[in-house]
Structure 1
Amino acid sequence: MKSLEMAKLIDLDDIMKIDEEVIGDNSRREYIRKAIEEKRCIVANDKNIIVGFLIFDTHFFDCSFISLIIVIPTERRKGYATSLIEYIINISPTKKIFSSTNKSNQRMQEVFKANGFIQSGLIGNLDEGDPEIIYFKSK
């Protein structure tokens, strides 16, 4: 059974296993821990196993910004990213929600488009040769 909820500190190690599997190291541990403590991390569970998570903040021009969405690679294309996005849209403290992904990340671009986000800009010089596309959605 799929469920979504705010992450708790007890979830940190399980979240870190997912993050490490995807990025190859544990460099974001303190960032993720802080997001959990500040109630800015949402987890997707299936049969009491965390299969994905989303981190957001409101530092992007006082708008909600989804800074990270990660789903275990074996669990992708099963609706978890969409469920996490829908959850944050419902609880967002701001009317405007932004996010971004690299131009090379076609899969994430499809997720944003499928969830009603529109392109709102392009930022160069973050990742060499791979601009960041900014996405926007209003509640």
Structure 2
Amino acid sequence: MKNVLIADIANLDKIVYIDSEVIGNTNRRKFIKNAIEEGRCIIAKEEDDIAGFLIYDTNFFECSFISLIIVSPSKRRKGYASLLMDYMMSISTTAKVFSSTNRSNVSMHKVFELNGFVESGIVENLDDGDPEIIYFKSN
């Protein structure tokens, strides 16, 4: 059974493990820990296993911004990213929700489009030769 809830500090090691599966290191541990402590980290669970997580904040021009969505490689294409985004939209305290991904991340572009997000802009020079595409959805 799939379940979505706000992460607590007991989930930290499992979340960092999933993140490291994707990026190859644990450099974001402090970032993830802070998000959990501030109640800005959402997890998707399958039974007792964490399948993925989402981190957001509300500092993007006073709008919600999904800064990170990570689904364990073994759990991808099973609806977890959409489940996390739906939950985020349901708890958002702002009318507008933004997020972004690199132009090269074709899979994430599809996730945004399937979840009703539309392109809203582009930021050059974050990653050389791979601009960041900004997405938006009204709540």
Partner of 1:45: 45
- Matched to 2:58, the amino acid is T
**2-structure distance, mates of 1:19, 1:54:** 11
- Partner amino acid for 2:33? R
Aligned partner of 2:88: which letter?
Answer: I
**Structure 1 residue matching 2:19: 3-state secondary structure:** helix
> In structure 1, how many angstroms separate the alpha carbons of the residues matched to 2:74 and 2:19?
13
Aligned-partner Cα distance in 1 for 2:128–2:115: 28
Which whole-Å CA distance do the structure 2 matches of 1:59 and 1:24 have between them? 28
Q: Which runs of 5+ in 2 are unaligned?
A: none
Provide the TM-score with structure 2 as the length reference: 0.99
1:109 is aligned to 109
RMSD: 0.4
| Alignment correspondent of 2:128 | 128
Runs of 4+ with >4 A deviation = none
Which whole-Å CA distance do the structure 2 matches of 1:48 and 1:42 have between them?
Answer: 15
Task: State percent identity of aligned pairs.
Answer: 59
Give aligned pairs, total: 139
Q: Aligned equivalents of 1:85 and 1:47: distance in 2?
A: 19
Q: TM-score, normalised by structure 1?
A: 0.99
The 3-state SS of whatever aligns with 1:35 is helix
* In structure 1, C-alpha distance between the alignment counterparts of 2:118 and 2:84, rounded to whole Å: 18
Give how far 1:47 is off: 1.1
Matched residue type, 2:4: L
Q: Give unpaired runs (5+ residues) of structure 1.
A: none
